Amino acid sequence: MTEAQKDYDKVHTLSRNARTLAGISSLLEWDQETYMPPDGALNRAEQLKTLAGIVHKERTSKKFAKALEKLIDLKTGTISVNSLSVPQQASLKEWRRDFLHDTALPNKFVKDFAKLASQSQLVWREAKKEDAFKRFAPFLEKIVAMNRKKAEYLGYKEHPYDALLDIYEPEATTAEVGQLFTHLREAITALLKKITSAKQVDDSIIKGDFPQDKQIALGEKLLAAMGYDLKKGRLDISTHPFSSSSHPSDSRVTTRIYPESPINNISVILHEGGHGLYEMGLPEEHYGSPLGEAISLGVHESQSRWWETRIGQSKAFWTYFLPIMQEMFKGKFDNVSVDAVYKAVNKVEPSFIRVDADEVTYPLHVILRFELEKALIEGSLKVRELPEAWNGKMQELLGITPKTNAQGVLQDVHWSMGAMGYFPTYTLGNMYAGQMFETFAQAHPDWEKRVASGDMLFIKEWLAKNVYHHGRRYTPKELIQAVTGKSFTAQPYIEYLNKKYREIYFL
C-alpha cells in the first residue's frame, strides 16, 4: 500500500466517524416525524443540537484538516499526490469543498440552527393543523434571519441565495435557475392553457373507500417490485412523506394515506422508494466518503420523480399494476380499462398542494417557492407578507387562490426544517430525469413491454450502474454528460410533457 493510500484511508476513517454520528442524527429526526411522543420535543431539540455540534467539530477538526492537507491543498484545491485513482481524486475535491463549507460556519451557529429547526418543525406541524400562520411566523423569521447569516458565512458572488442553493445543488446559481425556470414556465403555461380548454379527464374511477391497512400492504408490494429491500428499509406513516437514510443498509421511507383514493399513496411510495433505492445503492465500501454519498438533491429528486412519473404514470405500469389493484380492492376496479386508469392518474388540474400536483402543474409550485424564497433572503419580502404573496403567486401561476394558509403557505415542512435553497432541486430533478430517461429508453427500447409484464428490476440495475455507483465522483452536470453524452438541457423534459399530454388530451 502506498503512503498516499494510507493517508487517504486515514481521511476516510475520520470522515466515516462523522458520517456515523450524522446517521444517528438522521434516525432521531426520522423518529421525531414518526413515533416520538409529543412531550419529547424539547429534549429532542437538545439532542439534535448536541449531535449537530459534535458532527461539526468532527468535520472541522485540526486532525481531519491535517490529514486532508497531506493530499490536497485546502487553499487552492491542488492535489499533491498522483498515485490515487480518478474517483479518489474526485473524493478529495469534494472533501475539501465540504471542509471549506463546514469551517465557514461557527460551531455555535450550527448547534443553534439545529435546535431552531427541531423546535420549528413541531410548531409548524401544530400551526398547520390549526391553520395558524401567526403561530409559526416568529420561528420562520428566525429561520430566514439565520439563513441570511449562513449565506454571509459561506460567501457568494452575485446573490445571497446562491450560497444556500449551492448547499443542495453544487455549482447551481440563482441566475441560471431563474433562466431555466423562466423558459420552463413559458412552456408549461402554454401547454396548461391548451389542456384547460380541452375536455377534462374523468378520474372518478380511482376514487372510493380504500382502507389504510390495505394501502400499506399495497405499498410494501410495490416497493418489493421496485427492488427495495425491506430487510434494509421500512415503510411508515408521517405528516409529510419523506425518505431518511443513515447507511445503505438502513434507508427508510414514509407515506401518507388518503382513504378516498390509493393513487396518492402509490405515487408517494414510488417517489420515496426512488430516494431509498438511491441511498441503498450507494457503494457501501465508500460509506463515509464522498464516493458513498448522493451527488445532490437535484440528482436525488431525479431518482424519485423517475419512478413516480416516468414509470408509475406510464401506461405500461398500469397494464401490470391494475390487476393487482383489482385483486387487493375487490369490486373497486371491475370493468375498468388500463387506458381509463392511465388517463385518470394523469389528469391535469391546478391544485393547491404541491405533493399532490399533476406532472404539468408541479413545476409551477416549485417556481412559486423559488421566487418567494429568493425574495425572503434578499429582504424584498417580509415574513408577515408571505401569506398574501403566496396567494398572489398561486393565482398568477395556477389561476387558483388557497382558502386557508394550511392549503397555502403552511403546506410544506421544508422551511420549518431551515431548508432554504432546497425547493429548486425538485424541478431540476425532473429535468435531469427527463434527459437521462432518453438514454435509458435507447438502451432498453423494450422497457414498456418489460414493465407491463411486471419486470422492473432492470430499471434499478440501469440506475445503479449509471447513477448510484458513482457517489459524488461527478457534479450534477458532469453526471448528465457522462450518462447521456450531452450537456444538460431542459428540452427533453419539456418535449416529454408536451408529447404525453397532447396525446392524453387530444390536443
Answer yes or no: pTM beyond 0.85. Answer: yes
Cell readout for 184 is: 420552463
- 272 as an active site residue: the answer is yes
Report residue 220 CA to chain centroid gap: 21
> Bridge partners of 198?
none
Cα four-point dihedral sign 499, 494, 313, 306: positive
Report the pLDDT value the prediction gives residue 400, as an integer from 0 to 100.
Answer: 97
Q: Where in the chain is the domain with CATH 1.10.1370.30?
A: 179-351+358-366+425-504
Asked if the model's pLDDT at residue 302 lies above 90, the reply is: yes
Asked if the model's pLDDT at residue 240 lies above 90, the reply is: no
β 235-237/250-255 pair status: parallel
Mean pLDDT of 339-354: 97
**8 A C-beta contact, residue 395 and residue 414:** no
Asked if the model's pLDDT at residue 396 lies above 90, the reply is: yes
Of 272, 301, 373, 438, the active-site residue reads: 272
β 235-237/243-247 pair status: unpaired
Q: For 86-132, what is each residue's pLDDT tens digit?
A: 999 999 999 999 999 999 999 999 999 999 999 999 999 999 999 99
Interatomic CA distance for residues 232 and 223, integer angstroms: 12
Report the pLDDT value the prediction gives residue 1, as an integer from 0 to 100.
Answer: 84
Report the pLDDT value the prediction gives residue 142, as an integer from 0 to 100.
Answer: 98
- Nearest 10 degrees: Cα torsion 241, 243, 244, 245: 170
> Bridge partners of 72?
79
Interatomic CA distance for residues 348 and 410, integer angstroms: 23
pLDDT band at 40 (very low <50, low <70, confident <90, very high): very high
Cell readout for 491 is: 428540452
Pick the CATH number of 179-351+358-366+425-504 from 1.10.1370.30, 3.40.50.170, 2.60.120.620, 1.10.3470.10: 1.10.1370.30
Higher pLDDT residue, 240 or 183? 183
Tell me phi and psi for residue 283, to 5 degrees: -60, 115
pLDDT band at 207 (very low <50, low <70, confident <90, very high): very high
